[in-house]
Structures are given as C-alpha cells and as structure tokens.
Amino acid sequence: MALADRKASVTWEGDLKGHGLLRFDSSGIGEYPVTWTARTEAAGGKTSPEELIAAAHASCFSMALSHGLSQAGHKPEKLEVEAVCSLDRVDGKPRITSVRLTVRGTVPGIDQEEFVKAAEAARDGCPVSNALKNNVTLYVEASLA
C-alpha cells in the first residue's frame, strides 16, 4: 500500500490549442485553467505542467533540506526556495529538460560549505528529484542569508 495517493484531474476541450481546467481533487484547493499557450508563451493567469512540477519540486526539496539540516543539528529558521522547470525543444519536440533550484537559508551554526552540501544531498534525495532523475538535469544553488 502506498504511503500516500494524491489525485488531480483535467478536463480538456479542443485540440492542442484548446483549453483545460485542472482540479486539485485531493486537497480541494481549486480549479485552474491550463493551455498550450500558457505553457509555451506568457502564462496569462493560467498554469502549466512545468509550473506544477516546479511547485512540487520546491516544496519537496524544502522539506528534504529542512529535515537533513535538522538531523545534522542545524534546525533552519527559514528556507526560501525557488524552482524553475524548463521546457525546451529537443529533436524538434517539446521536452522538460531541467529544474533549477535556488535556496537561500537562515540556518544558525552552519557555514556556506556545509549548507551547500546539505542542499546537494536534499536535491539528490527528495522524492520529486528521484522521480525526475536520469531524465531531467537537476541544479541547485544554495546561499545563506
């Protein structure tokens, strides 16, 4: 049995240039429009699979880093994480190629080198990273406040 199952769904209308409505079924946090144009041009108030992957990765990474730092005796006061998920053309087809994580932390009693090592370990160990590993290039840039 899975530790957790979470559900989202989309109703799509039309061809690729059509539009969809994404629902966060498990959490009930809302419905959000999604389109190809929002994915490849300006977001225009709509979301995309890449934004959703970035959100998932930023939240997962922050949990993994917080846990790793705390286990090492350095409980963080604050971690600010940004994730950028890139969609590029590879061999003429759209492909998610990378996720770049940037973290700035306020962590008492740790130096920059130790913080970078903890961030790299979190990048390599968080469940979302593991889902993307060997398919998407993962970067992390870490700095202390």
Quick one: average pLDDT of 45-72? 97
- Residue 33 is classified by DSSP as E
Binned at pLDDT 50, 70 and 90, residue 54 comes out as very high
Quick one: average pLDDT of 46-52? 96
Could you give phi then psi for residue 29, rounded to 5 degrees?
-75, -5
The residue with tokens 């190809």 is: 36
Q: What is the pLDDT of residues 78-134, one digit of tens each?
A: 999 999 999 999 999 999 999 999 999 999 999 999 999 999 999 999 999 999 999
Q: What is the pLDDT of residues 13-36, one digit of tens each?
A: 999 999 999 999 999 999 999 999
The per-residue DSSP string of 46-94 comes to -B-HHHHHHHHHHHHHHHHHHHHHHHTT---SEEEEEEEEEEEEETTEE
Q: Select the more confidently predicted residue: 1 or 64.
A: 64
